[in-house]
Amino acid sequence: MVIKVGTSSITRGGSGASSEFMDSVAEQVKELRDKGIQVLIVTSGAIGIGLSTMAAQSRSREIPVRQAAASIGQSILMQKWNDSFQKQGITVAQILLTYDFYSDREKYLNLRNAIQTLLEHKAVPIFNENDAVCVKEIDAMFGDNDTLSAMVSIKMDADLLIILSDVDGLYDKNPKLFGDAKLIATVTEITDDIKASAGDPTSRVGTGGMRTKIHAAEICHEAGCNMVIAGSTVDNVITKIMNGEEIGTIFLTDRKERRKSSWIRHANASGSIDVDEGAGKALSKHVSLLAVGIKAVEGRFDRGDVVKITCNGKTIAKGIPDYNSDDISKIKGLHSDKMQEVLGHKNYDNVIRSENIVLM
């Protein structure tokens, strides 16, 4: 299972990390591990703690300031987690991620092996986004640690993701604005009504709101991982959830997308292939993409990269081509029997095989 802890939960609304709360999480993780459950943690809080340490709240939205705060706050945050888990005799491991871990399949597989080795050695991996080195604006990579926790969950084949928040779960409307808001206990499908129930971010230093949690639930739903949103102020909330108590909102799923398909769906696209309507209709029937149906190629990518497939200006699928962008530009619009003549070689009759295509 994966436990995601938000900034407001870590700080308890203050400026520093709450040792009492983090000790409680460590105690509950120890209890779960004693039952044979492997646990991974995704933690927020580095930027908030760093801003407080720097006394830089007045410039808290400036990207360089937030990157510096992340660098300072991350070391403090990990020390706090280490202190709490050491009391339980548990070793922790820090893992800082950026989106390329997910988009580059070789990096992802290597990281997965490392995480599995940590679990085999009884360590608890603690993840955070590597905000200090992001080349884009902070939160433009995963966007938030809710999404990161969902990515970690599906990539490590977790059965359950628990997101601890400053709200008790998903309500039919914002409970901070409407006194008659009702908690939604169970969600089995992410409908438009469910999405409409999500509000905006509620914390000044945190980046996630209910919308990002619903997005995380969508990612988990596709991959067959259940998810719970629960209030972090509930005593022993993690163990109570695992004992079957009805706390917060549970998102249940009976789907199970292939691991490779899940990776293709969520990986960053290196370029795009635009197809005609005939090819678009064919792809909807889960067939391979032929060169004859390709109209244009955008971006530079290699064989094996993930690309978007567009039709009439809309992304209809993503896939892994068996040819690079230069080769596809040369053979677009051609029948398969002409590919060898134009390229001097032919990997496959198809530009993208059906098993490497995921419909969006």
Task: Note the pTM of the prediction, 2 decimals.
Answer: 0.73
In a 10 Å sphere around its CB, with 0-12 CB exposed, 13-18 middle and 19+ buried, how is residue 319 labelled?
buried
Contact status, residue 238 vs residue 162, Cβ threshold 8 Å: yes
For the segment 51-88, what is each residue's pLDDT rounded down to a tens digit? 888 876 666 678 788 888 888 989 999 999 999 999 99
Q: What is the SS3 string spanning 19-44?
A: HHHHHHHHHHHHHHHHCCCCCEEEEC
Give me the pLDDT at residue 259, please. Answer: 65
For the segment 171-188, what is each residue's pLDDT rounded down to a tens digit? 888 777 888 889 999 999
* pLDDT at residue 138 is higher than 80: no
Distance between CA atoms of 221 and 282, rounded to whole angstroms?
26
With a CB cutoff of 8 Å and minimum separation 6, the contacts of 126 are 40, 41, 42, 43, 78, 81, 92, 93, 94, 95
Give me the pLDDT at residue 194, please. Answer: 85
Summary count for the chain: helices (H), strands (E): 14, 13
Element (H, E) at 92: strand 92-97
Place of tokens 């067959």: 224
Which of these, 35, 36, 63, 65, lies nearest to 50 by C-alpha position? Answer: 65
Which of these, 250, 281, 74, lies nearest to 168 by C-alpha position? Answer: 250
Q: Domains (ranges, CATH) in the chain? A: 2-261 (3.40.1160.10), 269-359 (2.30.130.10)
Distance between CA atoms of 98 and 44, rounded to whole angstroms?
14
Q: And the tokens for 164?
A: 């601890």
Give me the pLDDT at residue 85, please. Answer: 97
Give me the pLDDT at residue 263, please. Answer: 75
Give me the pLDDT at residue 101, please. Answer: 65
Which of these, 211, 203, 233, lies nearest to 48 by C-alpha position? Answer: 203
* pLDDT at residue 270 is higher than 50: yes
Task: Walk across the sheet containing 357-359 and list its strands.
Answer: 294-298, 272-275, 307-311, 314-319, 357-359
User: How large is the angle between the packed helices 145-155 and 259-266, nearest 10 degrees?
Assistant: 150
At 305 the three-state DSSP class reads: coil
Give me the pLDDT at residue 296, please. Answer: 95
Contact status, residue 74 vs residue 50, Cβ threshold 8 Å: yes
For the segment 334-343, what is each residue's pLDDT rounded down to a tens digit? 998 999 999 9
* pLDDT at residue 200 is higher than 70: no
> What's the mean pLDDT in 142-157?
82
Distance of CA 115 to the CA centre of its chain: 16
Stated length of the chain: 360
Give me the pLDDT at residue 335, please. Answer: 93
Q: What's 289's DSSP letter?
A: B
> What's the mean pLDDT in 14-19?
83
Q: And the tokens for 189?
A: 């499908």
For the segment 285-334, what is each residue's pLDDT rounded down to a tens digit? 989 999 999 999 999 999 888 999 999 999 999 999 999 999 999 999 99
Place of tokens 């070391």: 75
For the segment 211-267, what is each residue's pLDDT rounded down to a tens digit? 889 989 998 988 889 999 999 999 999 999 999 899 999 999 887 666 677 778 878
For the segment 31-44, what is each residue's pLDDT rounded down to a tens digit? 999 999 999 999 98
